[in-house]
Structure 1
Amino acid sequence: MPTSRPVSSARRPLSLVGAGALTLAAALVAFPETVGLGGARPWVWIVPFRVPVGLGLAATAGVALLAGVRWRSLLPTALGLGLVAGVHGGTTVVRGLGEGHLPPARPGDVTVAGANLYVARADPSSVADLVLRDGIDVLALPETDRVLADRVAELVGARDGTPPTVFWTADGDPADPERMGTALLVSPRLGEYRSTGEVTGGLKAVVTARPVDGTGPVLVAAHTAAPIPRWLPAWRAETAAVVDFCERTPGVLLAGDLNATLDHPALAGLQHCAEAATAGGSGARGTWPADRSALLGAHIDHTLGDRRAWVPVGSRVVEVEGSDHRAVVARWRPVQE
C-alpha cells in the first residue's frame, strides 16, 4: 500500500506557490504604492485605513497558523501573511498612533494647523480655543463659509488682542449664497500678508498668501477633491498640484484636508516637501471620520513644509467640536544655516 509521503511531497510545491500568491496579494493590499497602485481602484479606498488592514492581515495569519496545526501546507501561508502584517504594523507604529505633542515654541517657530469645519457646522469657539491654546500662527479652514471664518478670527482677536487676517476662496459658483470655501487665517505676529491665488481650485479651493515685505513663509490652505469614483481624475490632479507647489516653492508652509494619505501617489514620494505628523508621533492617527476611533480612521489632513527652510519639531491630532474631521497642528522650526 503506498504511503502518504509522496502525496505530501507532490503538494508541497503547490502550497508554496499558493502561499507566495497570497503573500503577494497581502503585500499589494498593504503597500500598493510600491507598484504604483495607490491611486487605482480599489486600493485608493483601502490604503487610508492602515490599522484595520493590518489587523485583518494579522487575524488571517493567525487563523492560517491555527489551521496549520492540522494542515501543515497552510504554515507557509501563515508565515507570509504574518510577515506582511508585521511590516505593515511596523510602518504604522513608526508613523505614530498617539495624539502627538508640541515642544515649547522658540523665537522664529511657526505653528500651523488645519481643521476641516464640516460645511460650516463646527463650533467656532472650539476652533478659537485651539488657536489660543497651541499658539497657532497659520490656520487652514476647509469647508467653511466666510461668516464662520470671520467669527473664528473675531473670537481669537477678542482674547488675543488683534484678530488674524482672513483670506477666503469659494469652492464653487460665486453666485451661490450658500457656497462653501477654504479660509486661511494668518496671525499678525507674522506680519502683513496678501493673497496671491497661485494655486487655483477645481472642485475644491486653495488659498495662497505671501508676506508683503517678502520676509516670512509662503502660506497655503488647501482642500482637494475627495477620491470618490466620479471625482478620481480631479482628485489625482488636485493632490498632485498642491504637493507640486509645496515641492517647488522655497519656504512654503501648507495645511489642509488633502483627502490623501502618505500611501497615495501625491504624498508617497515627497522630497523637498516634508510632512509633519510623524515628528510628533501622530502620523498614523486618523483625522477622518471623527465619530470613529482615531486608531481606525484615515490620516488625510496634513501640514507640509519646505524641508530646506523648515524642520517639523512636533505635531498633534486634536478633536474639533462639531466637525467630522480632527484637526492637525504642527510646529515648524527654521533650518539653522
Structure 2
Amino acid sequence: MITETARPVAPARRGATVLGWLAVAPGVAWAAVRLPGVERGPLVQAVAFTPYVAGWSLVALLAALALRRRWAALVAGVTAVALVGVVAPRTLPDHGPAAGGPAVRLLTANLLHGAAEPRALVELVRRHRVDLLTVQEFTPAAQAGLDRAGLATLLPYRQLNPEDGTTGSGLYSRFPLAEPGLRRNRGFAFTQAYATLTVPGAPPARVESAHPAAPWSVAVVDEWRTDLAGQPPATPDGPLRILAGDFNATLDHAPLRALLATGYVDAADAVGAGLVGTWGPYDGDPIPPVTIDHVLVDRRIAVQAVTVHALPDSDHRAVLATLRLPAR
C-alpha cells in the first residue's frame, strides 16, 4: 500500500539549472567579445566596464557551485579564469627596464572644456614638482586662468593650442621643447600638441598630449577607432616617445592594446595601478569609474610611480607618473 507520494524534485532541479546558466551567461557573452577584441557598436562602451564583469564572473561561479550545477560551474570557472586573467595583472607591478637617466614627473589632465579649477591644477604642479604637463579640452580661458595662477613660473616652456569648446590641447614643460607641432584628429577635431622634450642627461623624447575621439555614440565609433589607429606608434629602435592624455579607451579596448603593442607601456599598468579610475562619477554623474586617461611610455623608460588626483570642476582625475629616462 502506497502511503506517501514522491516529492516533485524535477521542477526544482530545472529551476536551479536555469538560475545557474542565467548567472553564467553574461560573463560568457562578455568574454566572447573581450578576449578576441571584436567590440563593435554599443559594445565599445560596454567593454570599458570589463573589470566589473570580471568580478561578477567570480560571483557567478560561486552561484553555480552553490546550486550544484556541474556544467554551469565548469563554464563559469573557465570564464572567470579568462576575464580575471586579463584584468588582475593590472594590479601587479612589472619589472621595468633599468633606466639610469634623470627622473621626470609628468601630469596629464582633461580640463572639461576648460572648466577645471586652474588654481587646483597649478597647486598639483607645484606640490608634486611636475616637470611636464599635458592638457586636453584646453581653452583660451583655461590658459589665462593657469597663467594667473602662476603656471608660467613653474613650467615656462610651452606648446599650446587653446580653442573654445573641447578641441584644444597643450604642453607645459620645465625643460626646453623643440620641434613643436599640432595634430588634429578626425573624430571631433580634437587637437594634440606635441614637441620634443630635452632633459639634461637623457636622449630627446617626443611628447604628445593625446585625445582621440570619444565613443559616446554608435555613430562615432568609426572615428574613435580611426583616431586611435592614427596615434603615433612607438619607435623602439628610434627616438623615445611618450603619449599622455585622455585616450577615451581602456586597456580592454582592442585599438588601445594594438597601440601598446607597437612598443609602449601603460605607466599605471606597469606599477600595479591599472584599475584606478580616472573618469566617471567625478562631476556627479552616476557612472562607475573607468580608466581612460593614460601615460604611455617607450619601453626603454622606467615607470617608478603613478597616482591619480582630484581635479575640481572636471569629470576626469589628473594622472601623475614619475618616469626615469634612459641615460644619454
Q: Give the TM-score of the pair, scaled to structure 1.
A: 0.76
1:154 and 1:108 map into 2 onto residues whose CA distance is 30
Give structure 1 stretches of 5+ with no counterpart. Answer: 1-7, 69-73, 99-105, 171-177
Is the 2:24–2:60 Cα contact (8 Å) retained in structure 1?
no
**What is the SS of the residue equivalent to 2:35?**
helix
1:60–1:25 CA distance, 2 compared to 1 (3 A) = closer
Which has the larger share of helix? 1
1:93 and 1:295 map into 2 onto residues whose CA distance is 22
Cα distance, 1:63 vs structure 2: 2.7
1:211 and 1:158 map into 2 onto residues whose CA distance is 17
1:166 and 1:63 map into 2 onto residues whose CA distance is 55
**What is the SS of the residue equivalent to 1:283?**
coil
Q: Tell me the residue number matched to 1:180.
A: 166
Q: Tell me the residue number matched to 1:273.
A: 264
Is the 1:52–1:296 Cα contact (8 Å) retained in structure 2?
no
1:165 aligns with 2:158: yes
The residue correspondences of 1:147-226 to structure 2 (distance < 5 A) are 147-157=141-151, 160=154, 163-168=156-161, 170=163, 178-188=164-174, 190-197=175-182, 199-202=183-186, 203=188, 204-211=190-197, 216-226=204-214
**What is the SS of the residue equivalent to 1:89?**
helix
Cα distance, 1:245 vs structure 2: 3.4
1:77 aligns with 2:66: no
1:224–1:159 CA distance, 2 compared to 1 (3 A) = same
Q: Which one of the candidate residues 214, 232, 238 is aligned to 2:221?
A: 232
1:306 aligns with 2:294: no
1:130 and 1:56 map into 2 onto residues whose CA distance is 36
Cα distance, 1:257 vs structure 2: 0.5
1:111–1:179 CA distance, 2 compared to 1 (3 A) = same
Question: Which amino acid in structure 2 is aligned with residue 127 of structure 1?
Answer: L
Aligned residues: 300
1:222 and 1:179 map into 2 onto residues whose CA distance is 16
2:285 and 2:92 map into 1 onto residues whose CA distance is 11
Q: Percent identity?
A: 27
2:144 and 2:178 map into 1 onto residues whose CA distance is 17
2:89 and 2:57 map into 1 onto residues whose CA distance is 18
1:83–1:210 CA distance, 2 compared to 1 (3 A) = same
The residue correspondences of 1:1-337 to structure 2 (distance < 5 A) are 26-30=27-31, 32-38=33-39, 40-68=40-68, 74-96=69-91, 108-157=102-151, 160=154, 163-168=156-161, 170=163, 178-188=164-174, 190-197=175-182, 199-202=183-186, 203=188, 204-211=190-197, 216-227=204-215, 228-242=217-231, 244-246=232-234, 250-269=239-258, 270-271=260-261, 272-291=263-282, 296-307=288-299, 309-335=300-326
Give structure 2 stretches of 5+ with no counterpart. Answer: 1-9, 94-99
Question: Which amino acid in structure 1 is aligned with residue 107 of structure 2?
Answer: A
Is the 1:253–1:304 Cα contact (8 Å) retained in structure 2?
yes
1:192–1:166 CA distance, 2 compared to 1 (3 A) = closer
**What is the SS of the residue equivalent to 2:149?**
helix
1:111 and 1:150 map into 2 onto residues whose CA distance is 23
**What is the SS of the residue equivalent to 2:102?**
coil
* C-alpha RMSD of matched pairs (Å): 3.6
Is the 1:108–1:333 Cα contact (8 Å) retained in structure 2?
yes
1:52–1:33 CA distance, 2 compared to 1 (3 A) = closer
**What is the SS of the residue equivalent to 1:323?**
coil
Cα distance, 1:300 vs structure 2: 0.6
Question: Which amino acid in structure 2 is aligned with residue 229 of structure 1?
Answer: V
2:37 and 2:269 map into 1 onto residues whose CA distance is 23
1:45–1:55 CA distance, 2 compared to 1 (3 A) = same
Is the 2:191–2:211 Cα contact (8 Å) retained in structure 1?
yes
1:246 and 1:133 map into 2 onto residues whose CA distance is 31
